Amino acid sequence: MPPAGSTIAGSVDALFYLILYISIFFFVIVVGAALIFTLKYRRKGEAEAQSQVDKNTALEIIWTVFPIVIVVVLFILGFTVYMKMNVVPKDALEIKVTAQRWLWTFDYPGGSNSVNELVVPAGKPIKLLMSSTDVIHSFFVPDFRVKMDVLPNRYSTAWFDAPNPGEHNILCAEYCGKGHSEMMGKVRVVSEREYAEWLQKEAGPPEGMSLEELGERLYTSRRCVTCHSIDGSANVGPTFLGVFGHKVTLKDGQQAMADENYIRESILHPEAKVVAGFEPVMPTYQGLVNDREIDALIAFIKSRGDQRKQP
């Protein structure tokens, strides 16, 4: 099992290992017996079977009842832990999760939001209220042992309590198309104080920032950084280094000038002009960034575009 990152993980793991030991026990009995019988009663020449017993009621009852008792115990244990996983503590902090192909958006109390990065205070129960804007997704954090489908027509909930600061992967566990395996995010568990600061600084209102500064912040907070590097290395998507003001070759062989309009289009309609060598897996940011934020991102990419000219 992966490292335990939530309060519930311990009970789930204990149950997992209990079932594992029970399974090993039965496996050894069945396969061990089959193996011993095979070696011991291997046919030699024309030898007939030593016994033709074909029933034993006591044995039949034992191997029916004994497993029933075991599975009923497993059922009860499984259900007890499951109820703990289902009942959200009353004092939980509620965060809205929106899934779309192929990214996660998190809305925090107080109006700030983030993309593909869920920042939560450590040691506080977090309730996730989740819905999808398109197909079914599934919110999965292996380290927390939490998984819940995210549906387009109703809200589903999940909760966790991560006691220690750290980073954990968020994965999508319900098949949702081309970008399914890229639909990844991170949960960043931080101290209460850092959480408050983060809300204020990273996700707070962009007062007194230049467009370029805002763009730089959006580059991380909107998780452009997951797919687009700024150091020239190719990732899932093309790098931002030295793009602006240059011609790019598209998938269909045509060339396009990477200007303001091209970048705006690529943010809102990523599938329209895909750069050669890359898969069209970028989700649309329509509705996730406002006009000023698009201007800011363009300004940021522009600033990176000039850098190639420098020595």
Partner 1 sequence: MNTIPERNFLNYPKGLKSWLLTLDHKRIGVMYLVGISFAFLLGGIFAMLIRLELLHPGRDIMGPQAYNQIFTLHGAIMIFLFIIPGIPVALGNIVLPLMLGAKDVAFPRLNLTSWYIYVFGAILAIVAIFTGSVDTGWTFYTPYSTTTGGAVVLMTLAIFILGFSSIFTGLNFVVTIHKLRAPGLKWFKLPLFVWSLYATAIIQILATPILGITLVLLALERILGIGIFDPAMGGDPVLFQHFFWFYSHPAVYIMILPGMGVISELIPVFSHKRIFGYRAIAYSSFGIAFISFLVWGHHMFVSGQSPFASMIFSFLTFMVAIPSGVKVFNWTSTMYKGSISLETPMLYALSFLFLFTIGGLTGLFLGTLATDIHLTDTYFVVAHFHYVMMGGTVMAFFGALHYWWPKIWGRMYNEFWSRISTALVFLGFNVTFLTQFVLGAKGMPRRYYSYLDQYQPLHFYSTVGSWVLALGLVIMAIYLVHAIFKGKPAGDNPWGALTLEWTTTSPPPPENFAQPPVVTHGPYDFDTVKVKPTFAR
Tell me which stretch binds partner 1 (CB under 8 A): 15-23, 186-194, 200-208, 285-293: 15-23
User: What mask of x and - would describe binding to partner 1 in positions 50 to 89, judged by CB under 8 A?
Assistant: xxxxxxx--xx--xx--xx--xx-xx-xxxxxxx-xx---
Work out whether 49 is an interface residue with partner 1 (CB under 8 A): yes
- Of the candidate spans 20-28, 193-201, 263-271, 296-304, the one that interacts with partner 1 by CB under 8 A turns out to be 20-28
Is residue 228 a contact partner of residue 242, using CB atoms and an 8 Å limit? no
Name which of residues 28 to 47 contact partner 1 (CB under 8 A). 30-31, 33-34, 37-38, 41-44, 47
Nearer to partner 1, 12 or 297 (CB): 12
- Other C-beta atoms lying within 10 Å of the C-beta of residue 37: 10
CB of residue 14 to partner 1, shortest distance in Å = 10
Sign of CA dihedral 206, 209, 213, 215: positive
- Smallest distance, Å, CB 256 to partner 1? 21
The two structure tokens encoding residue 112: 């700030």
Structure tokens at 45: 């020449």
The site string for partner 1 over 179-218 (x = CB under 8 A, - otherwise) reads xxxx-x----------------------------------
- Chain residues 242-281 in contact with partner 1, contact rule CB under 8 A: 279, 281
Contact 122, 164 (CB under 8 A): yes
Binding mask 137-176 for partner 1 (x = CB under 8 A): -x-x-xx-xxxxx-xxxx-x------------x-xxxxxx
Per CB under 8 A, 233 contacts partner 1: no
Q: Minimal CA–CA distance to 300: which of 212, 228, 202?
A: 212
What minimum distance in Å lies between the beta carbon of 24 and partner 1? Answer: 8
Instruction: Say how many Å lie between the first and final Cα of the chain, rounded.
Output: 49
What six digits make up the tokens of 188?
Answer: 């960043």
Binding region for partner 1 (CB under 8 A) out of 21-29, 88-96, 106-114, 257-265: 21-29
The structure tokens 């190639």 sit at 308
Length of the chain measured in residues: 311
- Cα angle 120-282-275, degrees, rounded to a multiple of 5: 140
Q: How far is the CB of 69 from partner 1 (least distance, A)?
A: 11
8 A C-beta contact, residue 102 and residue 179: yes
Residue with Cβ nearer partner 1 (38 or 290): 38
Treating both helix axes as pointing N-terminal to C-terminal, what angle do 9-40 and 57-86 enclose, rounded to 10 degrees? 160
Q: How far is the CB of 110 from partner 1 (least distance, A)?
A: 28
Q: Identify which of residues 68 and 196 has a Cβ nearer to partner 1 in the complex.
A: 68
CB of 86 to partner 1, least distance (A): 5
Q: How far is the CB of 30 from partner 1 (least distance, A)?
A: 5
Q: Residues 230, 239: contact at Cβ < 8 Å?
A: yes
Number of residues that bind partner 1 (CB under 8 A): 84
What count of Cα atoms within 13 Å lies in the side-chain half-sphere of residue 142? 9
Rounded to a whole number of angstroms, the CA Rg of the chain reads 28
Cβ 297 to partner 1 shortest distance, Å: 25
Task: Work out whether strand 146-150 and strand 137-141 pair parallel, antiparallel, or are unpaired.
Answer: antiparallel
| Cα distance between residue 216 and residue 299, in whole Å | 9
Q: Which stretch binds partner 1 (CB under 8 A): 24-32, 196-204, 205-213, 292-300?
A: 24-32
Residue type, 238: P
Q: How far is the CB of 18 from partner 1 (least distance, A)?
A: 9
